[in-house]
Amino acid sequence: MDGRMRAVIENVQPQVDAGRFAIKRTLGDLVRVEADAFTDGHDSVRCMLRYRCADQTEWSEVEMQPLGNDRWQGSFEVTALGRYRYTVVAWADRYLTWRRELERRDDPADILLALKVGADLLTDVARRAAGEDRARLEAAARRLAASRDADAGRTLALDTELDRVAMRFPDRRFESHFDRELEVIVDPVLARFGAWYELFPRSTSREPGRHGTLQDCEAMLPYVAKMGFDVLYLPPIHPIGRERRKGPNNVLVAQAQDPGSPWAIGASEGGHCAIHPALGTLEDFARLMKLAKEQGIAIALDIAFQCAPDHPYVAEHPEWFRFRPDGTVQYAENPPKKYQDIYPFDFETDDWAALHAELIRVVEFWIGKGVRLFRVDNPHTKPFALWEQMIGRVKAEHPEVIFLSEAFTRPKVMHRLAKVGFGQSYTYFTWRNTKAQLQEYFTELCHGPGREYFRPNVWPNTPDILPEYLQIGGRAAFMTRVTLAATLSASYGIYGPAFELGEHRPREIGSEEYLDSEKYQQRQWDLERADSLAPFIARLNRIRREQPALQRDWGLEFLAIDNEQMLAFAKTDAGHDAVVVVVNLDPYNAHSGWLEMPLERFGLTPDAPYRMQDLLGGGSFLWQGPRNYVRLDPHGVVAHVFVVQRHVRTEKEFDYFL
């Protein structure tokens, strides 16, 4: 290292694990970077943020601004999908040091001497310039060298236009570079903001007893679109194994008419690259994709890397499975749960490289069919190295692809999956019910260090999970949980039609399994039921699309309200209306409380009234000052979703809302 490189660069943020993994952003976002940069002595430092697309060789630069205490900040916009690189450079700047010191000098003789030093500096700067800039700098240098009047000379030296030109041609021979290049993965906006709807295609038939098809799914598209969902997620659509097939409610012995679990993948008709014949053909799937796109809906497929006992892989590649001492293949289990109809892969097989290659081929096959969204089943039971290799390879060719991690497991495992490439992650929201639990968890998600790479997608229910709150809370519980999901998180999903129709019966007391679960049998749903929450959910999704503050997670701030059964929070996004949400967490009883509004944060003053427009329940309220009264009855309105607006009074009508 050249000893003349005096600037020190430390603590560049954001970075994940010292740059081992990339941070994540979505198209059009600003990447804000901070760094400590300083030098010995009293010289002034200049600091530059450098960035480029990973496939480019030339860097772009933006000057970082001082925040105080040798901390600097700069930002750049990501305008293309894929990977960007960024780093920081800094140097001790002689010209800037001279100019800063000249501003503080007051002795005329001292100033005149400093002007001659400045003339030499400007002459040096001019050598790096050209054309009119060079001529201007040389002329200024001559005038400074000839100065006899200290005040006039200093005025000339401190001219802002001269400074602007000189700063464009710094002496960077001894600049220091941060010791690594950091990366950011840029995903589509759907990775940050979107609403997902899950349904089982085999349950979409309107005829009792008939197996639903992909064509029946087509008829569901207007229903899903009307509710305002961006993504239709389909559980596995592959052939289902016949050996050890499960019957209704997970019984071990199935009858001939029982369809089995879609996650028991593979049979004589094919494996992970085939479609269950009862659902249709690849041509039917292509048509569904096309029609969904016309409705503004993206199709997400389930990727479950496991096999039914009669999957072709079992016969063709027995080396990919683990055998027990009795010669049978070890089925999947997570005691006390047992999955006799599923064989997991043995990822420690000597043939692991071929196994990885085949699983990557499966994903690439469906990408070739137009799929760009994958919900991955239980990724935490497969090697991290597989996901890092697969997702890295896929996104290098198809940066628009998004992988959603369905991993309800230990926090560090969930975070590692996000680091190795998953664009979204399931969360513990399903089991966070109290005010304290929700505040602590979402503060961690939205403001903890993991937010740089872990994007939450929250679900109040899934086919595997019917939480106790929904089992016992009645209609209000479903309204409360979907409101929380849709407003706390920019990305959320529901498993329907079970959710909007209030399916709440567990298989047995103390279980989170549904009675008559769609995982093991076909269901028929009455989508026209008068008590359906579909209109309520549609209203929530419309609010989300109309309010930019709800489309990001980082603007979340919890607000004080003096009732433990009431949760209050604000979402803000620069340049847009703030949204304030108040939810009654008790599905049985009405609650009230005094809400503390952070007026200054919303650009409000204590002496002026302001309007709270309720987008969810309708109506508006005129508030003034920081403390205001809120009451919510779960038998009527479970929540307010307010947009905060300044109130303007007319001369004629003192309290008329404009």
Residue with tokens 């010791």: 179
Q: Does 93 qualify as catalytic in the annotation?
A: no
Q: Between 352-368 and 384-397, two packed helices, what is the crossing angle to 10 degrees?
A: 40
| SS (HEC) of 398-466 | CCCCEEEEECCCCHHHHHHHHHCCCCEECCCHHHCCCHHHHHHHHHHHHHCHHHHCCCECECCCECCEC
Cα distance between residue 301 and residue 293, in whole Å: 15
Tell me the backbone φ, ψ of residue 191, rounded to 5 degrees: -70, -25
Residues in the chain: 658
| Cβ-proximal residues to 293 (8 Å cutoff; 6+ apart), any chain | none
8 A C-beta contact, residue 156 and residue 368: no
Residue 123 is classified by DSSP as H
Residue 235: partners with Cβ closer than 8 Å, 6 or more residues away: 198, 200, 262, 263, 302, 463
The one catalytic residue among 43, 346, 406, 553: 406
Residue type, 393: R
Separation of alpha carbons 86 and 417, rounded Å: 23
Please give the full DSSP string across 571-625, using - where no structure is assigned.
E--TTS--EEEEEE--SSS-EEEEEE--GGGGT--TTSEEEEEETTT--EEEEES
From residue 606, give the alpha-carbon distance in Å to each of 193, 620, 623, 648. Answer: 34, 19, 10, 15
**Residue 236 contacts residue 262 (beta carbons within 8 Å):** yes
| 596 carries an active-site annotation | no
Looking at the DSSP assignment, which residues form a beta bridge with residue 548? none
Handedness of CA 493, 496, 498, 501 (dihedral sign): positive
Cβ neighbours around 574 below 10 Å, total: 8
Residue 486, number of CB atoms within 10 A of its CB: 27
Whole-angstrom distance, CA of residue 492 vs CA of residue 379: 19
CA distance 304 to 359: 10
Angle, vertex CA 503, rays to CA 497 and CA 641, nearest 5: 75
- Catalytic residue, candidates 93, 175, 377, 500: 377
Which among 641, 651, 508 has a CA at the least distance from the CA of 571? 641
Type of residue at 605: T
Q: What is the largest CA-CA distance in the chain?
A: 106
Compute the distance between CA of residue 231 and CA of residue 299 in angstroms, rounded to an integer.
Answer: 6
User: What residues act catalytically?
Assistant: 377, 406
